[in-house]
Structures are given as C-alpha cells and as structure tokens.
Amino acid sequence: MLTEESVMHRIPLGFVLTVVLLSGVVPAQEAPPEYLWHRDHLTGDAWGLRSGLAERGVVADLYLTQFYQDVASGGTQQKDAYGGKLDYLFTFAQGLVVLHAETRFGEDVILDAAGAAPVNANLLFPGLDNTTAITGLLVNLPLTPDQDWIFSFGKFNTLDLFHMIYPQTGRGVDGFMNASSFLPLTVARTVPLSFLGAGVLKMNEGRVQGGLLVYDSHNTPTTSGFDELFDNGANIAGLWRFFTEFRGLPGSHGFLGSWASGEFTILDRTGWSFIPGAGIAPGEQSGSWSLQYILEQRLWADPCREKRRIGVLSQWGLADPETSPYAWICNVSLQAQGLVACREQDTMGVGYFYSGLSGDLKDLFPRLLPLEDVQGVELYYNATITRWFHLTADLQVVEPANSERDSALVLGLRGKVDF
C-alpha cells in the first residue's frame, strides 16, 4: 500500500531540502535584478562573467535538472529512483557554433516501468549509464544574407533538434517527461539519439519550416562516431511544415520522412526504446523507413495577456514493421500556460499516446514474452517558483509491452535550476 508517509520516506533528502528552501521564494513580474529571487539565473551575472562572455560572442547556459520518480504499482517492479542531469550549453559567434554537453548522474526507473515507453526521456542522454559526454556540436553557416537558409554539420542532438522545431516539447525538462508523449517514436530506428551528419535548414520568421539531413545510422552520444562513420550505410531525413491560421490563431502541419540504407534487425537497440531480446537473433533486413505527420494548433489566447494560451500537439507515424519495434504511433496533448491568472509563467499539460508494436516483433516470442501495444496517459504541472527555479509534479499511467505486467503508475517530481 502506497501512503504519503512511505512516498516521502523514499524521496531523497537533498531533493526535499531543495524544494522546501526554494518554494518559499515568491515570484514577481517586475523587480530589481539584484534580488536573488528576481534573477533570470541563480548566479545572476556571475560576477560579470556572463556579460563579459556575451560581449565576446559567447552565450553560456548551465542548468541542473533533478528527477525523482516512483513506480508506485505495476510495471516490471515497484521502485523509486533519484537522478539528474547537468546540461552545459554554449553558443559561439551568434550561433555559428553550438555545443551541448551533458552529465548524467543517479538512477532512473525507465526499465522498471515500461521500456518501450521511456518514462524519462531526458535521462536517455547520454545513456542509461552515468557519464559526461558531448551530445551535440554543430557548425551553422548562413547561406543567404537574411539567414533563411542555413547549412549545418557536426553532431546532432535529436532532442535539441526537435525542440528547435517544436519548442513546446520542452526536451523532457520543461513539459512532458515520457518520450512517447511528445516524440513520434516511429523514428526510433532511423533517427538515433545523437548522430553525425550534415544538412540544410529553411527558416521562416525565426521558425524552422523545413530541412534535409544526410547522416550516419549509429547512435553516438558518448563517442565521436568517426571510427564507424557510414559503415552501415547512410540515413536521410526530410521535414516540411505548412504554417496556417485557424480563427486568427497560429498552427502548422508538418511532414517528416526518414530512410536508412543499412542492415538492421527488429531487436537492434535504438536508444529510444528497450525491449528485451530473450536470446533470440532475428535475421537482418536491408533498409528501413518512417513517415510522420505532426499537427500543432493554438486553441486559445488571452487577447490582453499573450502569455496565457492553450495549444494542441498531435503526432501520427508509420514505420517499417520488419526493422522497427514500432509499426505505428499516435499521440495527442493539450498544453497551457498561465491558466491561473496570477501564475502566468506556470505551464501544465495532459497527453495520451498509443504505440502499436510491430507484428514481426510480437511474433518472435509469443509464449516466452507475450507482447502487446503500449499506451498511456501523462499529466504534469510546472510551477515557476522563481525565474530560475521550476518545480514539476508529474503523473503517468502506462500499460507496458509485456502483457503479463500490470499497468505502471509512475509518480514524479522534477526540479530545474538555471545557473
């Protein structure tokens, strides 16, 4: 039986103290920047270091995200875990070079809840082992004077790339935590977590409208990737969005396709999902593909306060059932900001996802490991305690792929500090 006392006993003391100390700080809309609780960053100007770097064309951001999640019932096993991530983001020469390094520490409950629907997308990077790695390093060269066309090459971080296209997804540190709630996981086989590649992006008034990438098929968040570059073929991904308006509110329709020329099996680890192989080695297939449609639409906006709004994001995808663990997926989510009039910076969301596992995958071991489609719901509330500290309460109910397991109830707390 899960009680309030048992949950509090299992939450790490450091996380509790951080929440208690920072929760007493009351946010305000306008105040002198010298006050600690009104800064955009905990360290402010960092004794002139931040502004000094900016004058030299270097923007440095460091933030710490702590996670506590508890598989309260169901899943593979009931377990709680505390872990976190330090993100180091550096932008040089107004975006000419962008570097993203990450330090992962602690534990997670990804495999304890539902491996085919990772309940903490952010802790997938750089991997399930604790380490520090450069997961993104891009050079961006403008091809036109207005910078509407950009040539990018280097190491791509997929969460960063997707967040650049759809900022409301939050990279797992601001919005939903479950990867299935805000990503089309049909790209799991053809788009790794981190990869080497190059391509062209088309910008439209500061938003990504389209792009074409050619890249390596290997997942390389903790390695340079050059040793095995293109030794399993090449991948291609293309995106195009049509920007629209509905009753004066902005939206878009996005179409994403990807193709890989290498040799794959349906049980190859993708980095996005974790399905046990049970000692079975299926035959390799040549090539893989995926197709996705992504709808975003703002549903409501306060005409007097632009930060108060509600929007919908929905994704539908198909993938090669012979090489991808997912044959098709769909998800739909509602996200809102500032619904409480006196809390304009707070955000909240509710989402549903359904991941149809490949029939070829289900047929591999129907008796030893009976598999079924994965579905779930997620709710979160992200409270702005100060401009530099956000505290999120998260609830997930996930029906795991293993049909012998009960639905996993996952409770979560997330604290993010911008240094």
Coil, helix or strand for 39?
A: coil
Mean pLDDT computed over 43-59: 88
- Contact criterion met (CB below 8 Å) for 90 and 98: yes
pLDDT in tens, 133-172: 999 999 999 999 999 999 999 999 999 999 999 999 999 9
Distance (Å, whole) CA 159 – CA 275: 21
Average of per-residue pLDDT across 73-82: 94
Only one residue has tokens 């900001």, namely: 337
Q: Which of 214-228, 265-279, 291-305, 369-383 has the lowest mean pLDDT?
A: 265-279
Asked if residue 366 has a cis previous peptide bond (ω within 30° of 0), the answer is: no
Per-residue tokens: 27: 């946010």
What pLDDT band is residue 67 in, cutting at 50, 70 and 90? very high
pLDDT at 148: 94
**Using one digit for the tens of pLDDT, what is the confidence trace for 214-245?**
999 999 999 999 999 999 999 999 999 999 99
The per-residue pLDDT for 18 is 44
pLDDT score for 250: 95
Question: What tokens appear for 405 in the block?
Answer: 């397991």
Q: How many CB atoms lie within 10 A of CB 14?
A: 11
Model confidence band, residue 19 (pLDDT cutoffs 50, 70, 90): very low
Report the distance separating Cα 90 and Cα 69, nearest Å: 29
- According to the model, what pLDDT value does residue 47 have? 84
Mean pLDDT computed over 355-374: 84
Confidence band for 402, pLDDT divided at 50, 70 and 90? confident
User: What's the mean per-residue pLDDT of the chain?
Assistant: 89
Query: Are the C-beta atoms of residues 170 and 163 closer than 8 Å to each other?
Result: yes
Cα separation of 322 and 359, whole Å?
8
**Of residues 19 and 257, more confidently modeled:** 257
pLDDT confidence tier of residue 12, bands split at 50, 70 and 90: low
pLDDT of residue 1: 45
Output 368 or 346, whichever has higher pLDDT.
Answer: 346
Whether 249 shows a pLDDT value over 50: the answer reads yes
DSSP 8-class letter at 233: B
- Position 9 scores a pLDDT of 43
- For the residues 177-199, what does the mean pLDDT come to? 96
pLDDT of residue 22: 43
pLDDT at 99: 97
CA–CA gap between residue 82 and residue 41 (Å, rounded): 24
pTM, full prediction = 0.88
pLDDT at position 160 is 96
**pLDDT of 43 above 60:** yes
Give the burial class of 369: count Cβ atoms within 10 A of its Cβ; 0-12 exposed, 13-18 middle, 19 or more buried: middle
Q: What is the pLDDT of residue 270?
A: 81
pLDDT at 307: 83
Q: Are strands 389-399 and 374-386 parallel, antiparallel or unpaired?
A: antiparallel
pLDDT in tens, 304-330: 888 899 999 999 999 999 999 999 999
Residue 7 has pLDDT above 60, yes or no: no
Across residues 48-61, what is the average pLDDT?
89
Q: What confidence score (pLDDT) does residue 368 get? A: 66
Task: Give the Cβ contact number of residue 51 at 10 Å.
Answer: 11
